[in-house]
Structures are given as C-alpha cells and as structure tokens.
Amino acid sequence: MRRVIRIKNLDCAACAAELKEELEELKDIEEAAVDFINQRVTLSYNTPEAFSGAVELIAGFEEVEIVDGNAPRKKESHLKEIVSIAVSAAFFVPGLILHFVGGVPEWLPLALFLASFAAAGWEVVFTVCKNFAKLFRSFRLSLLLDENFLMLIAAVGAFALGEGMEGAAVMLLYEIGELLQAVAVGSSRGAIAKLMELKSDSAILLEGEEQREVAPEELKKGDVILLRKGDKVPADCTLLSGESAFDTKSITGESYLRECGEGAELLAGFLNAGNAVTARVERPSEESAVAKILEMVENASSQKAKPEKFITKFARIYTPVVVGLAVLIAVVPPLFTGFDFAPWIMTALNFLVISCPCALIISVPLTYFSGVGVLAKHGVLCKGAVCLDTLSKVQTAAFDKTGTLTEGKFTLAGCSSERALSLIAAVERASSHPFAEAFRSAETPFHAKNVQEIAGMGLAADIEGREVLVGSRRLMEEHSIALPELQSPHAVVFCAEDGAFVGYAELEDKLRPDAEEALKGLKGAGVKKIAVLSGDTEERAKAALSGLPVDELKAGLLPEEKPLAARALKGEGALLYVGDGINDTPVMAESDIAAAMGGLGSDAAIEASDMVLASDSLKGLPKAMRTAKKTRRIVMQNIIGSIAIKAALMVLSIVGFIPLWAAVFGDVGVMLLAVLNSLRMRGRI
C-alpha cells in the first residue's frame, strides 16, 4: 500500500533525511520518501498498524504537523522565527555596546548575551534534547551530529571559554541563516504552488434546463457543463456548441488566445476569455491535464539525479569526518604547546561551524526542483532531476515522423478509382491508425468483417466473401500483387481484392509549422545530430521533411526495427527520442530520454516518456535542453564552489584567522550564495 501525507514546518534537508531514516526503521514500512521542498511524505507500507505508527512518528518529529490533504495551501508564515530573532537582537546589541565600551560590571553584558542566546537558541536546545531522548531508543550518528548539535556545542563552548559575545553571535546568526533558508525554499515552493491555481474551484453542471454548481471532482465522463466568460475549464472536455477564445498559457505556455469551435478539445486549466459555451466532459478531473501536470511536478523531487545522490552520500561521510577532525584539533595540538587547550578548542569550534554542509544539502535539490517548475510553466512536463540531468548530456535527437514532425492529420489528396476508395474506407474504419482518419468521411457501400492488422504494413479484411488487403507497397509485395510504377510525394495506401490490384489513395500530411525552428533550436542548444526514424518510404519521407536540418533519415522501418535503429544511434552519444508516446513505446524504452508529443489525455504517453510536451509544440524541446544545461551548470557551480569555499574557510579557521562569529557568518553566507545561485533557474531560459 502507498499513501502520501502532506506536512508543514519541515524546511531542513538534513531533518528530512533524519525523518526518512526513522520511518524506514519502523516495522512493515517498506519505503519512505520525505520531500522537504513539497512538504510531502510518501509511504509504502504493508499493514494499517505500520501506517498509524508512521503517522504518529511524523506528528511527533520536531515541529512537523500533518495537514489535511484537501485543504488549500496557506501562505507560509515565519512570525515565530522573526520574533525570536528580534528579541535576541534586542538583547545582543546593548550587550555588544557594553562589551566594547567597558566601565560596567562584567556580568551585565554576559547576562545580555545569555538572554540573546536563550531567545534565539531555545528551539535548538529543545531539538537537541529531543534527539538525545531518541538516542536511547535507537542510536544513529545522524541524530547526534546534526547541525543543531554542532551549533549548540559551538555556542556553549564559547560561553564556557568566556567568549559570551561569540556564543550569542553564533546562535543569532545561525537563526538568521535558518530564516533566510526557509524563505528561499518557501519562495521556490510558492512558484510551484501557483500551479495549484490551475485547478477550478467549481463547475456549472447542466441537467436539462437546470444549472447546478458542483465541485470539479463530482464531474463524470459525459456530463455537460456551462463555461461562462472568465470560467476555468474544470476538466478535459469537448466543446459542444458556440465559439469562444481560450487563454491556454497556464497549460501550454503560449501567450496567444486559442479560437475554439464545436468539437475542439479543451484541457482543464484553460480560461474562457470569450463567449459562454457548453462542453461535454471527456475525463474526470483527477485524470485531467492539470492533475497530471501537478502530479508530475510534485513527484519530480522523488527521482534523484547523480549529483543529488552524491551529496546525500557525501554528507553522511563528511559530517562524522569533520567532527573527528575537530576533536583532534581540540586535543592533539595542546599536547605539544604546553597544554593550553582554550585557543585550540575555540579553533575546533570554528572548524565545526564552518564545516556544516547545509549549502550543498539545500541548494542541489532546490536547483533541480526549480528547473522542473520552470519547464512546467513553459508547457514541458518533466519527471524530475534524473530527466534534467540526462537531457543536459544529449548528443543525438531522434524523431518519429508522422504526428511528431508532421501534424499527423492526414487528408485525402487523390485516389485512382471510386471502388478503391470505397474498399479502403470500409477497411480503415476498423483501424486506429492515423491514416484511417482520412477516410472517416468517405462514403462506402461496403462493410468489412474480420479485420486483422498486419504490423507495420496494413490491414486484411473480408468484404462480401472476398479477401481485401489495404496497406503499403510492402504488404502488396508480400502477397505477390503486381503494382504500377507510381511517383508520389504523398503517402500511398494500396488496395487489392482476391489477389488482384484494385487501386490506391494518396494521403497528404503537412509539416508542423514549428518543426524547422525547433530542430534549429536543438542544434543551437548543443545537439550534434538529428535523425528521423520512419516507417514511410525513403522518397516520401525525404519529400515530407524537405527543408528541415535532418542529418540522418532511417526510412522503411517496421515497428520492431525502430528500437534497433535507436540502439545504433545511442552509440553516438546520449539519445533523446521524440514520438507520440503510444505507438513508439519500445523506442522510448530504448532511448536515454523520451519525450511524448501532446497526449495529455493518454496514460501511455505519461508512462512511456520522461517528458511530455503539453503544448503539443516542438518549440518546448530547445527550452527543455537549455533549462537542463543551465540546471546542471548551476548544480556543479554550487557543488564545486561550496566545497572550495568551505575548504578555504576551514584552513583559515585552523590557522586562527577566523573568529567564531565570522565562522558562522561564513557558513550562512556560503549557504545563501548557493541558494541564490539556485534561484537563478527562475530567470529567462
């Protein structure tokens, strides 16, 4: 069993890791994922008792609270932290003045510093005490060596050595850093929370002549709803009557209004900017485009990229190592310098404070999360950090032709005879192939029976006792049916009856208007090779793709041959494959990363692909590439920069160049630099 629990007041990545460890130690809890950015805990468990135990543990973990999953998200408030910092500063500033001015009893500034420490650090002390209580139930190094314990040791150690000002400064600066961290994470979380506004609060259900306001969750397939000007579309539906303009920016990222008439598909989240119209619900709200967008974005942080996994492992090893080094710094040098422990203990405290790995633990997942959110705003749904990381390394992009580079909407361009058209139309009506749509409106006196699909080649059927074959030239050749020489720029569907050629129909499929711009954009974003994998003949594929910057065309491929072609392309570098997400599932599985065109109504597209282009526009691909590369660049900047600055500060602390308050300032500064660098993801791409 699997459940998602919404929480609040968990803003620390290290705390999230600790909560995950505690949950996974519970009996019958198979797996726990704690997402401190989205404030969610995902549990996989075997018994109701295990779930109840997990809920109890979560509710008792530090200040974490479980919130109603259906309740609207409230704006985060940091009033308690701000009050604590303000009170602490109110004691610290006069204490600092008296400390430097002098001429007052020594106990007075010390008392003010203690009061400042208590106001800022009471929560830290409380957390450390709770962690020590937990140690009696289950000893874990992460409970003992968390940032709260390190800061408390540093502050208490400073007071014990007579450095009250530094002890108070440690806690005050630490709390300011924690507040700034929470605000930064909340800012990114707020960007994703804006997506929740895509959901409609209500819908107007039409029941005969009556209108009734209902929740979107109550709508069922087939219900008829009224959409007034200014209403959000509550569920994916089809326009029944009237014409109107819809603002689709929230879903597709396109700023222009879309003019829609009878029969047009409307996705949940569209905004009616024109006339009042009626529409028929096609899918319940939980299966709508909006629901899938929110689910993909909210679950994005559950898939961790290699840099994230590295940071998690690094922190587990790094923290005990630096604590061990701090102990050695405090104990070993005094043995050779006259047993003067005080300065070396202060140096060790500096070292401990500077070594805190917060900058890495927070900024790396925040960068990936921001990247996923940015793409969602541009109509590109990405399944998480792994997807972004892989996309940044893509060298080769391969495309399906029909429905991807072309519109996939075939129209009849001509036929050789009325009989051929009638036979083809009768057989194609039993097919879901894109070709079949071109024959839907064609009149035919025939009715096909026992229609069978011949993979990659066409259809066979029984019409009035005669065997009819409809499909490609290859199908005809397989059955030794002689065909006339034919040079056509269009797709051709041949027809044979009882082994004799009857005629053919030509189908036209136009190139997508954004195809050339998108492929050139991919080249500009760093893709070295663009290939097309098509089942069409080479001549027709070349004619259809004329003018596109395609480096390699592999035509005439059967469905089972496409994965082999993709595998060959993978040998030239990481492969991105773009298809319709339904017929191309095997190729998508073979590629390093797959993107599905449109298909928001298709579960197959969501499952098979790593990305979905919600706008059904190829222009999202270059944006995705640029975002992925920018994300990777910022992540590496944060990792390398944070480690380098930390190492330099630790060396300076050992040689005594940095006082304790400056060490805290340096630690907070590195963390803020990394977080601010991460927030650059929300800039222009």
pTM of the model: 0.68
Q: Are 351 and 325 in contact (CB under 8 A)?
A: yes
> Quick check: 321 pLDDT over 90?
no
Distance between CA atoms of residues 25 and 32, nearest Å = 10
What is the structure's pLDDT at 204?
A: 93
Backbone angles phi, psi at 605, to 5 degrees: -65, -45
The mean pLDDT value for 425-452 works out to: 88
> Quick check: 37 pLDDT over 70?
no
What is the structure's pLDDT at 420?
A: 93
Q: Which of 207-221, 462-476, 600-614 has the highest mean pLDDT?
A: 462-476
What is the structure's pLDDT at 300?
A: 54
What fold characterizes domain 2-66?
Answer: Alpha-Beta Plaits (3.30.70)
What is the structure's pLDDT at 601?
A: 45
Q: What are the boundaries of each domain within the chain?
A: 2-66, 200-297, 411-508
**Of residues 129 and 376, which shows the higher confidence score?**
129
Q: pLDDT for 622-676, tens place per residue? A: 999 999 999 999 989 988 888 888 888 888 888 777 776 677 677 777 877 887 8
> Quick check: 146 pLDDT over 70?
no
C-alpha to C-alpha distances, 255 to 250, 258, 382, 475, nearest whole angstrom: 9, 9, 21, 46
The mean pLDDT value for 121-132 works out to: 83
411-508: which CATH number, 3.40.220.10, 3.40.1110.10, 1.10.357.10, 3.30.565.10?
3.40.1110.10
The hierarchical CATH code for the domain 200-297 is 2.70.150.10
Q: Which two tokens stand for residue 46?
A: 């075997």
> Quick check: 415 pLDDT over 50?
yes
Q: pLDDT for 486-526, tens place per residue? A: 877 788 899 999 999 999 999 888 888 889 999 999 999 99
Distance between CA atoms of residues 420 and 355, nearest Å = 79
Q: For the chain, give the mean pLDDT.
A: 82
Query: Which residues have a catalytic role annotated?
Result: 400
What is the structure's pLDDT at 459?
A: 93
Task: Give per-residue burial for 35-69: e unless 16+ CB within 10 Å, then b.
Answer: bbbbbbbbbebeeeebbebbeebbeebbebeeeee
Q: Are 119 and 84 in contact (CB under 8 A)?
A: yes
> Quick check: 139 pLDDT over 80?
no
Q: pLDDT for 163-222, tens place per residue? A: 788 788 878 877 887 787 677 666 655 555 555 555 677 899 998 888 999 988 889 999
Q: pLDDT for 229-252, tens place per residue? A: 889 888 888 999 888 999 877 666
Please list, in sequence order, all residues whose beta carbon lies within 8 angstroms of the beta carbon of residue 427, skipping any fewer than 6 positions away: 448, 451, 459, 461, 463, 468, 470
Please list, in sequence order, all residues whose beta carbon lies within 8 angstroms of the beta carbon of residue 317, skipping any fewer than 6 positions away: none
Q: Which two tokens stand for residue 81?
A: 């932290």
What is the structure's pLDDT at 215?
A: 86
